[in-house]
Structure 1
Amino acid sequence: MDIIYQPRINREIESLRERIHPPRVCIDNDSYRDCTVVKIDSANRHGILLEMVQALTDLDLVISKSYISSDGGWLMDVFHVTDQVGKKLTDKSLVHYVHQALCEARSSQEISSDTIELQNASESVMNLAIELTTADKPGLFSEISAVLLRLGFNVTYATAWTHNERVVCIIHLEDAAKLGPIDSERLAHVREQLQNVVEARDGEEEGKRVRLRLRSFGAGRNHTDRRLHQMMYADGDYESCGACHGEKKNVSVGRYEEKGYWVVNVRSRDRPKLFFDTVCVLTDMKYEVFHAAVASNTSMADQEYFVRPKGGSNLDNESEKQKLIQCLIAAIERRVSHGLKVDIRTENRRGLLSRVTRVIRENGLSITKVQIGVEGETAVGSFYVADSSGQDVNPNIAELVRRETGGSVVANYNSPYTVPRPLSSGKTMHETKSTTQVTPRFSLGSMLWSQLECLSNNFRPIRS
């Protein structure tokens, strides 16, 4: 059995080292013609790589290449980045925000340390969020939004992912009747009503896998995408990702005997936030990344990681290796959806979310992914919809949603997060794509321009 020496470092000493030697961030626009190079030197600790990647992706930057080296108490990371249209970062204010975000990443805390689960809350709470994990059934999101509207809650932010017939969603709430804390009686009532909706749909046997939580989240620390990954992982959505999927996605785990590393290789179709998703699952599975090289060429991305389990582990454990492969495949797949993307930008009005989801449900469609929030007085978001019978979704659903909500609504098959099905009519996707309006753009990055805080805490309410 191999024994790997890993010194135990007291957290107070580690924190002192970070204060004495804060991160050095160098933003280089001269070395390469087609990209900006971001170089970071910093004291090393578990999770800091994820925080760096998270800071860059939250600003809507595209990471085309990265080189990671952190074998020891210090890290040296290099990222080749561009903006969303492939240009270098020449805007001085954006460069300033990148520098600020990366420096602030070192003081980030784990989500669990700043998020409180409410079991039998006896006091009023602020910043209430619902977290739900259950079986994916058509119409579920519509019923949940209708219940919340009936109970008198405003939805200030909502997001949901589906994968392997499971769904996780996070919904942030406000009391529509008054601003301020939500009392314990209302908390108990909303928990009961939502539990009834989910259990009625899932039945007794499926209901055993339902996880409904009410949480009070702290300011500026609750990263939604990471939390969705954690919820899916806790639910075991990766268990259905078999060996055949691993071959398809080209995910492999080998052994580097000389240094005692596991060598993780991932080759897959490139898309936004792929690097973040991979590093997220490695971090949450308690793997330390000592070296890594990431590059994307045309439509494909290659990632190579040299890792060890945190605290040491038997690297010959075959079941652990297979679990890591399955979890990486799941991390790649979770953000990708089949079907039609419907972008919406409209006036923020009470009941908006409930109306949109009702129209989708009444037309025999199911929601495979959603993210919606507000910018000023405007509600902005995206719904990914699929036909429950497996047929292609008619893009005219965008017009039906527009009639119900007003504003700009666009159907788009060409999202980087969408894997479209072949069209049965024989038409190409470009022939069926709606071109009546400009696609509205919603992203975390656009909202983090003005302040580098949690997106949900900056939202004004969607009055639904």
Structure 2
Amino acid sequence: MALTAAAASGGDAHDDEYAKLVRGMNPPRVVVDNEACDEATVIRVDSVSSHGTLLAVVQVIADLGLVIRKAYFSSDGSWFMDVFNVTDRDGNKVLDDQTISYIQTTLEADDWYYPEVRNTVGIVPAEEYTVIELTGTDRPGLLSEVCAVLAGMRCAVRSAELWTHNTRVAAVVHVTDDGGSGGAIEDEARIADISTRLGNLLRGQSGVRAAAAAAPGGLTHKERRLHQMMFDDRDYDGGGGAASSSPRGRSPTPATEVSVTPCAERGYTAVVVRCRDRPKLLFDTVCTITDMGYVIHHGAVSSEPRGGAYQEYYIRHVDGDPVRSEAERQRVVQCLEAAIERRTADGLALEVRTGDRAGLLSDVTRIFRENGLTIRRAEISSERGEAVDTFYLSDPQGHPVEAKTIDAIRAQIGEATLRVKHNPFADGDGAGGGGGGATDDVAGSTAFLFGNLFKFYRPFQNFSLIKLYS
């Protein structure tokens, strides 16, 4: 068995070296154009294709906080072409020279496309922190208890992200040694103790992994890892759907509609998604399709009126086959619905911004718990002595958070420290207020018949194919 694994590893290494050689002869071209479109910045990427290339490009755009308004992509044999119309969160073009330069240099760099150089899967060592991964059954006050355990064990939380979906929870937490070096926790016995205590806290219904930092240059992409963790935890089997997760007293979230149909004449499977539009939606769907072992050969996505989003993909399995059975089709539908719903948080969004200190996160989450609130999603960061944490909250039954509860939290945390980023229950623009366009047509009616697909790909006419060596 060991010999077989070694042989397979050697074959993979040979394939990677060949891919690098081909890519070196045909380097990617990235154009950021602010003249081609009146409403958005156009990013064109022309590159040798490999599994995961589209995800890598979308990840760069999403991590910059840019919003993809429209996109077309196609992989013709070994060649990959993308066109993205993007804006910032306020709907403006991308005009900052540093941002434009970063997009071009990052997407043209060799190490972005090769997982052995820039790993985005699993726990990747880094010198600055220790990574802790948690999965299990969600319950009120869980994050508060986790933070209290970490604070008691002198672990300073430098960044973290937590998602909940269908009664399941997943979190990726970066911690440092608050009582020693200030860097990663290197003592293996201490790491084992942290894992044991968190496992006991989660009552044996979860997985806990902690890894000490060991090597520079690695990077775990937290959001992709969270998708993988929840997928492994089979949160997509939980049922309920988007509409059932809406808080009481509000209109239900517009249905997430996913259709998976054969495109037999071309040997593809057509996947169509209609749902409410939001930032990073394209990343979430492309990430899931890629990690399920499918290749997106062609596709088009766009924002629709009234807050809707339309996505259409033509996919095959990595072995070249389309979706083979009804069971596989249902699994693709369930997994895409789950990927879209995980990041959706219709509750109260509070931002805590203050000077960082030991035990801060434990204190803040304890205040939420004592006021009867449940954390649906959290984004936590600490840099240069300042903590910036965003929490998406509701009560355990999903009722709207009352104004007096918000006032009580503000009084305990501090007027200058706490900011209400979004309160759909007070603003009247919650789940029922947007995205109606997502249900105007059934998801099964594809907007682009495959035979006419490329008439929508006019931006590709600006590319000339570089000679491909093989």
> TM-score scaled by structure 2?
0.79
The partner residue of 2:290 within 279, 283, 288 is 283
Q: How does 1:142-157 map to 2 (within 5 A)?
A: 142-157=144-159
Judge which range, 50-59 or 395-404, deviates more: 395-404
CA contact (8 A) 2:260 2:333 kept: yes
Judge which range, 86-95 or 154-163, deviates more: 86-95
Give the corresponding residue for 1:56: 61
Give the corresponding residue for 1:411: 420
Q: Give the letter aligned to residue 29 of structure 1.
A: N
Post-superposition shift, 1:241? Answer: 3.9
Q: Give the letter aligned to residue 225 of structure 1.
A: E
Post-superposition shift, 1:372? Answer: 1.0
CA contact (8 A) 2:47 2:80 kept: yes
Partners of 2:363 and 2:275 in 1: CA distance: 37
Give the corresponding residue for 1:261: 268
Q: Does 1:67 align with 2:63?
A: no
Q: How does 1:219-238 map to 2 (within 5 A)?
A: 219-238=217-236
- Alignment deviations for residues 311-341 of structure 1 (CA, whole Å, 9 cap, x no partner): 1346331100100000000011000124211
Post-superposition shift, 1:125? Answer: 8.1
Partners of 2:108 and 2:86 in 1: CA distance: 17
> Secondary structure of 1:112's partner?
coil
Q: How does 1:37-52 map to 2 (within 5 A)?
A: 37-52=42-57
CA contact (8 A) 2:71 2:82 kept: yes
Q: Does 1:215 align with 2:211?
A: yes
Give the corresponding residue for 2:171: 169
Q: Does 1:102 align with 2:107?
A: yes
> Secondary structure of 2:374's partner?
strand
Partners of 2:316 and 2:239 in 1: CA distance: 22
Q: Give the letter aligned to residue 100 of structure 2.
A: V
CA gap 1:85/1:51 in 2 versus in 1, 3 angstroms = same
Give the corresponding residue for 2:195: 191
CA gap 1:288/1:366 in 2 versus in 1, 3 angstroms = same
- Alignment deviations for residues 162-200 of structure 1 (CA, whole Å, 9 cap, x no partner): 00000001111111111145212211211121111111x
- Alignment deviations for residues 245-276 of structure 1 (CA, whole Å, 9 cap, x no partner): 89932210111112210000001110000011
CA contact (8 A) 2:268 2:322 kept: no
Post-superposition shift, 1:367? Answer: 0.8
Partners of 1:377 and 1:397 in 2: CA distance: 29
CA gap 1:100/1:403 in 2 versus in 1, 3 angstroms = farther
> Secondary structure of 2:39's partner?
coil
Post-superposition shift, 1:86? Answer: 1.3
> Secondary structure of 1:303's partner?
strand
Post-superposition shift, 1:244? Answer: 10
Post-superposition shift, 1:88? Answer: 1.6
Partners of 1:243 and 1:166 in 2: CA distance: 14
- Alignment deviations for residues 221-264 of structure 1 (CA, whole Å, 9 cap, x no partner): 21111110000000001113479989932210111112210000
Judge which range, 313-322 or 136-145, deviates more: 313-322
Partners of 2:21 and 2:103 in 1: CA distance: 24
Post-superposition shift, 1:220? Answer: 4.7
Give the corresponding residue for 1:5: none
Give the corresponding residue for 2:357: 349
Give the corresponding residue for 1:417: none
Partners of 1:181 and 1:38 in 2: CA distance: 38
Identity among equivalent pairs (%): 41
Post-superposition shift, 1:398? Answer: 4.2
Judge which range, 306-315 or 164-173, deviates more: 306-315
What value does the CA root-mean-square deviation take over the aligned residues?
Answer: 2.5
Give the corresponding residue for 1:458: none
Give the corresponding residue for 2:81: 76
- Alignment deviations for residues 198-217 of structure 1 (CA, whole Å, 9 cap, x no partner): 11xxxxxxx3x411111346
Structure 1 spans left out of the alignment, 5+ residues: 1-7, 117-123, 200-206, 415-419, 432-464
Count the aligned residue pairs: 399
Judge which range, 267-276 or 106-115, deviates more: 106-115
Partners of 1:347 and 1:397 in 2: CA distance: 24
Partners of 2:409 and 2:417 in 1: CA distance: 9
> TM-score scaled by structure 1?
0.80
CA contact (8 A) 1:413 1:429 kept: no
CA contact (8 A) 1:356 1:404 kept: no
Q: Give the letter aligned to residue 30 of structure 2.
A: V
The partner residue of 2:302 within 295, 305, 309 is 295
> Secondary structure of 2:108's partner?
helix
Partners of 2:175 and 2:145 in 1: CA distance: 16
Partners of 1:31 and 1:302 in 2: CA distance: 22
> Secondary structure of 1:10's partner?
helix
Post-superposition shift, 1:81? Answer: 1.0
CA gap 1:314/1:392 in 2 versus in 1, 3 angstroms = closer
